[in-house]
Structure 1
């Protein structure tokens, strides 16, 4: 497994960022490849994701870690991915969003239909940075 850690500062209160993170239906607005998303109960999400030249259903389990504003998630099927979002208030109007993503480049390549070997870590890093920028924009609107 490879681990990627990224962070971004958002000009919004921590509560605003936390609420946005839990709006599963809005994941297509800030997660590349997600074309539809819906919550199933408090701890599951169903995502329709476009990758590898087709549309695939992916289910994920979501876990909140109390008042610490930490949410973890892990795919139940589809590409094996797991991650954690930690939201830290910097002051009343600013939040640091930290993301830790764990993935296997070889398995991710297989899920994406890539025949040329593992997905380069730079491609994953660029996608995650772009997703965080979109998340920031949503929180600041």
Structure 2
């Protein structure tokens, strides 16, 4: 399993950055290769991705969500192994540090080769840079979900 970690500082308050990240269906606006995310309920999302010509559909479950602090998830679809956490840290009234840590198990020869060449790492770095551009350009969130999801 490969671990990817990237941090960006965004020029919006912590609640704005967090609120925008809870809008999972907006992810295709800044995540390369993500064609669709459908939120099924408070805990579950269905993803459609196309990376390197390979189309995948998989489901994820949010296992821990604490407003303005963190969102932790894991995949629940057999054959797609990933888990991760995004953390939000207030820098000051108008700046937030957003840190994404993901563990991904590539499947198939093409994905494994791409991982060895650093493609997953570059993609996550680009996604975080695009999130920064997306939220700073908007200036505010497109929606918000402030509920608490506890592990277990």
Mapping for residues 80-91 of structure 1, pairs under 5 Å: 80-91=81-92
Aligned counterpart, 1:21: 21
Which has the larger helix fraction?
Answer: 1
CA contact (8 A) 1:109 1:118 kept: no
Residue 115 of structure 1 deviates from its aligned partner by 7.7
- Displacement of 1:67 in angstroms is 4.2
What is the match of residue 122 of structure 2? Answer: 126
Q: For this pair of structures, how many residues does the alignment match? A: 136
What TM-score, normalized to structure 2? 0.80
Shifted more, 57-66 versus 116-125: the winner is 116-125
Call closer, same or farther: CA 1:67–1:35 in 2, change over 3 Å: closer
> Which consecutive unaligned segments of at least 5 residues does structure 2 have?
138-152
**Scaled by the length of structure 1, what TM-score is found?**
0.86
Q: 1:116: how far off?
A: 7.0
Q: Which gives a bigger RCO, structure 1 or 2 (Cα 8 Å, sep 6+)?
A: 2
Instruction: Mark the runs of 5 or more structure 1 residues left unpaired by the alignment.
Output: none
What is the DSSP-based 3-state SS (H/G/I as helix, E as strand, rest coil) of the residue aligned with 2:115? coil
